[in-house]
Structure 1
Amino acid sequence: MVYNDPYKQFRPQGKLVKEDGGIRFMDSIILGTIYDELRAMRQIIDTDDNDDCSTDNAMTPDDNSELILGADSPAVATEDLWPDPAHVFRLWQIYLERVNPLTKIIHVPSLQPYLAEAITGCQNLPKNIEALLFSIFVMGAVAMSAEECQTLLGYSREAALQRFSTGVRVTLIRLGFLKTHDLTVLQAVVIYLLSLQGRYNRHAAWILNGIVIRMAQKMGLHHDGEMLGLGPFESEMRRRLWWQIIMADAKYAMLTGLSHSLLPRSWNTKEPRNLNDADLFPSATEPFQDREGPTEMIFCLITNRIGKFLIESPGFEMMVMLVEFGDLGAPDSPQMQEFRRTVESLASELLSLLDRFCDPSAGPVHEMAVEMRSQIIQKLGQLMDPSRGQPELRAELKSPKDNAFMIALSSLEHNERSYHLARDKGFLWFWLAHFQLDVFIYMVGQLCQRTEGKIVDRAWRQVAVVYEFHPELYDVTTNKTYHTLARFILKAWARREELLRAQTGRSPEVPEYVERLRSAMDSEDLRSDAPAPPETLTQQLIVSGPANPLDPSFDQFLTGIFDSPPVDWEMFGGPMLPNGQNAAPFRYNVGPF
Structure 2
Amino acid sequence: MDTQATADGLGNLIQVLKQPRVLSCAQCQKRKVKCDRCSPCSNCVKAEVLCTPSTPGPARKRRATKQDLLERVERCEALLKGYAPVVDRPQTPSSSNHVPDDPPVASFEPSSSAQELNASYITTRNDGSVRFTDSFGTLVMHEELVAIQNSIKSDDSADEGPRESAYESPYKTLPVTEFETSASDTPDTQPGPVEAMNLWEHFLERVNPLTKIVHVPTLEPYVMRAAVGMHLVPIEYQALLYSIYAMAVISMSEQECFDLLGHSRDTMLRHYGGSTKRALMKYNHRENYTMITLQTLILYLLTLEDRIHRHASWVTSGIVVRMAYSMGYHRDGECLGLGPFETEMRRRIWCQIIIQDAKNALLSGLSAAMLPMQWDTKPPLNINDADMSPSSDSPIAPREGPTEMAYVLVARLIYAYKIDCDNHIDTPINEAILLGMSLTNDENTDRAVFGKFREQSEELRRALESYTAKYIGDGAGKVHVAATILKTTILEKLDDALSPIKEQEEWGIEIFNWKDNLFKMIMLSMEYQCNAHDKMAAVGFEWYMRLQFYPDMLASLTSQLYRRPMGSLSDRGWRAVERLHGHYPELFDMSQRQQLMQAQFTLKAWEARKIAVAQRGGSLETPAYIVQLGQALSEMEAHKAEKPIDWNALWTDLQPFGDRLNSFMGEEFVQMSDGPSARGHGLV
Please tell me the TM-score bracket, short chain as reference. Answer: 0.7 to 0.9
Paired AA for residue 204 in structure 1: A
Instruction: Find the partner of 1:383 among 497, 505, 521.
Output: 497
Is 1:480 matched up with 2:593? yes
Larger Rg: 2
> CA separation in 2, counterparts of 1:421 and 1:67?
34
> CA separation in 1, counterparts of 2:409 and 2:324?
20
Does the CA-based 8 Å contact 1:276-1:295 persist in structure 2?
yes
Aligned-partner SS, 1:129: helix
Instruction: Find the partner of 2:602 among 489, 493, 518.
Output: 489
Paired AA for residue 181 in structure 2: A
Paired AA for residue 68 in structure 1: E
Partner of 1:460: 574
- Cα shift at 1:105: 0.5
Partner of 1:570: 661
Paired AA for residue 433 in structure 2: L
Gaps of 5+ in 2: 1-79, 86-174, 639-646, 671-684
Instruction: Find the partner of 2:347 among 239, 243, 261.
Output: 239
Deviations 1:480-514 (A, max 9, x none): 22212211211111111122234345x42111121
Paired AA for residue 487 in structure 1: Q
Instruction: Find the partner of 1:544 among 632, 653, 659.
Output: 653
Partner of 1:211: 319
Is 1:498 matched up with 2:611? yes
Deviations 1:282-316 (A, max 9, x none): 12222222210100101100101111111111127
Given the superposition, is the C-alpha separation of residues 409 and 89 from structure 1 closer, same or farther in structure 2, using an over 3 Å criterion? same
How does 1:284-295 map onto structure 2 within 5 Å?
A: 284-295=392-403
Given the superposition, is the C-alpha separation of residues 169 and 388 from structure 1 closer, same or farther in structure 2, using an over 3 Å criterion? farther
- Cα shift at 1:114: 1.5
Is 1:515 matched up with 2:627? yes
How does 1:224-373 map onto structure 2 within 5 Å?
A: 224-260=332-368, 263-314=371-422, 315=425, 317-318=427-428, 319-327=430-438, 333-373=447-487
Is 1:156 matched up with 2:269? no
Does the CA-based 8 Å contact 2:223-2:241 persist in structure 1?
no
- Cα shift at 1:330: 5.6
Does the CA-based 8 Å contact 1:66-1:173 persist in structure 2?
no
Does the CA-based 8 Å contact 1:213-1:262 persist in structure 2?
no
Is 1:202 matched up with 2:299? no
- Cα shift at 1:184: 0.8
Paired AA for residue 562 in structure 2: C
Does the CA-based 8 Å contact 2:581-2:587 persist in structure 1?
yes
Does the CA-based 8 Å contact 1:233-1:284 persist in structure 2?
yes
For CA contacts below 8 A with separation 6 or more, give which structure has more relative contact order.
2
* Percentage of identical aligned residues: 35
Q: Please give the TM-score of this superposition, normalised by the length of structure 1.
A: 0.76
> CA separation in 1, counterparts of 2:571 and 2:621?
14
> CA separation in 2, counterparts of 1:568 and 1:496?
27
Report which stretch shifted further, 280-289 or 451-460. 280-289
Does the CA-based 8 Å contact 2:341-2:392 persist in structure 1?
yes
How does 1:27-106 map onto structure 2 within 5 Å?
A: 68-71=178-181, 73=183, 75-78=185-188, 80=189, 82-106=190-214
Given the superposition, is the C-alpha separation of residues 375 and 89 from structure 1 closer, same or farther in structure 2, using an over 3 Å criterion? same
Report which stretch shifted further, 259-268 or 146-155. 259-268
> CA separation in 1, counterparts of 2:486 and 2:305?
18
> CA separation in 1, counterparts of 2:494 and 2:649?
27
- Cα shift at 1:197: 1.7
Partner of 2:64: none
> CA separation in 1, counterparts of 2:466 and 2:316?
34
Aligned-partner SS, 2:230: coil
Paired AA for residue 351 in structure 1: E
> CA separation in 1, counterparts of 2:569 and 2:387?
50
Aligned-partner SS, 2:203: helix
- Cα shift at 1:437: 1.1
- Cα shift at 1:67: 6.5
> CA separation in 2, counterparts of 1:103 and 1:260?
20
Aligned-partner SS, 2:509: helix
- Cα shift at 1:545: 3.9
Deviations 1:170-204 (A, max 9, x none): 10011111111211111011111112222211111
Does the CA-based 8 Å contact 1:464-1:513 persist in structure 2?
yes
Given the superposition, is the C-alpha separation of residues 220 and 144 from structure 1 closer, same or farther in structure 2, using an over 3 Å criterion? same
> CA separation in 1, counterparts of 2:508 and 2:389?
56
> CA separation in 1, counterparts of 2:476 and 2:512?
45
Given the superposition, is the C-alpha separation of residues 267 and 462 from structure 1 closer, same or farther in structure 2, using an over 3 Å criterion? same
Does the CA-based 8 Å contact 1:293-1:356 persist in structure 2?
yes
Given the superposition, is the C-alpha separation of residues 523 and 294 from structure 1 closer, same or farther in structure 2, using an over 3 Å criterion? closer
Deviations 1:521-569 (A, max 9, x none): 249989xxxxxxxxxx9x99785248xxxxxxxxxxxxxxx6xxx6335
Paired AA for residue 320 in structure 2: V
Deviations 1:372-412 (A, max 9, x none): 11111111111112789973676212110111000001111
Aligned CA RMSD, in angstroms, stands at 3.0
Is 1:123 matched up with 2:231? yes
Paired AA for residue 544 in structure 1: D
Report which stretch shifted further, 393-402 or 157-166. 393-402
- Cα shift at 1:341: 0.3
> CA separation in 1, counterparts of 2:586 and 2:501?
32
- Cα shift at 1:428: 0.6
Aligned length: 487
> CA separation in 2, counterparts of 1:240 and 1:581?
47
- Cα shift at 1:145: 0.6
> CA separation in 2, counterparts of 1:485 and 1:383?
26
Does the CA-based 8 Å contact 1:66-1:72 persist in structure 2?
no
- Cα shift at 1:518: 1.2
Gaps of 5+ in 1: 11-64, 527-536, 547-561, 586-593
Paired AA for residue 217 in structure 1: Y
Deviations 1:197-221 (A, max 9, x none): 2221111111111110111011110
> CA separation in 1, counterparts of 2:539 and 2:589?
28
Instruction: Find the partner of 1:113 among 221, 226, 238.
Output: 221
Does the CA-based 8 Å contact 2:436-2:501 persist in structure 1?
no
Aligned-partner SS, 1:164: helix
> CA separation in 1, counterparts of 2:547 and 2:82?
41
> CA separation in 2, counterparts of 1:7 and 1:373?
45
